[in-house]
């Protein structure tokens, strides 16, 4: 019996062992170069924000309010390479200042309830918290004998905002360590 695919006018390939698979359309697609990209797109839409996949929405909708960051300067207002001197990054310093401010504010609320002295201003609270941060930085620097901090250092907090004239940066010395 002659092969069915070679008969004149019949262009169908011979069937292999019975009926066709339901997913026969998938075989050529699986071998196509675009297939891994399609799999990735479908998988990322299913997985969404689960680790280690992320769309980073924090960058998609920036805050309209003011933001702050901190750095340390020497007596001549030159920035100090804090990581090299103390092993602590400026980002961690900013977080430490925020936590210390919260602690001092909590202490202030307690003092207010007990009627223990006059209330402190926000500037005084920030100065006390900043002094504690600088004290901690000095302590961490004492563990690095060959990398001394300058004698006089200042903790500077910069407030970044956006207004009618564009972006603004307002640096303010919070605390000073002699």
Give the pLDDT confidence of 132-177 residue by residue, as tens digits. Answer: 999 999 999 988 888 888 999 999 999 998 878 888 899 999 999 8
- In this predicted structure, which of 30-39, 51-60, 94-103 has the lowest mean pLDDT? 51-60
The residue count for the chain = 178
Task: Tell which residue, 80, 170, 171, has the closest CA to residue 134.
Answer: 80
pLDDT at residue 18 above 70? no
Distance CA 153, CA 77 (A): 9
Q: Which residues contact 59 (CB under 8 A, 6 or more apart)?
A: none
Largest CA distance in the chain: 110
Residues β-bridged to residue 73:
79, 154
Distance CA 61, CA 174 (A): 30
Q: Which residues contact 103 (CB under 8 A, 6 or more apart)?
A: 129
């Amino acid at each position: 019996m002659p092969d069915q695919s070679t008969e004149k006018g019949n262009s169908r390939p011979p069937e292999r062992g019975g009926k066709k698979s339901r997913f026969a359309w998938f075989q050529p697609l699986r071998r196509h170069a675009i297939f891994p990209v399609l799999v990735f797109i479908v998988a990322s839409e299913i997985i969404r924000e689960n680790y280690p996949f992320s769309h980073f929405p924090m960058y998609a909708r920036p805050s309209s309010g003011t933001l702050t960051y901190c750095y340390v300067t020497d007596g001549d207002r030159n920035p100090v390479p804090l990581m090299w001197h103390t092993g602590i990054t400026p980002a961690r310093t900013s977080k430490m200042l925020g936590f210390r401010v919260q602690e001092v504010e909590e202490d202030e609320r307690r003092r207010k309830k007990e009627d223990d002295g006059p209330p402190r201003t926000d500037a005084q609270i920030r100065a006390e918290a900043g002094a504690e941060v600088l004290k901690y930085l000095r302590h961490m620097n004492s563990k690095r004998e060959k990398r001394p901090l300058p004698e006089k250092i200042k903790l500077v907090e910069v407030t970044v905002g956006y207004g009618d004239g564009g972006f603004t940066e307002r640096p303010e010395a919070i605390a000073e360590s002699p």
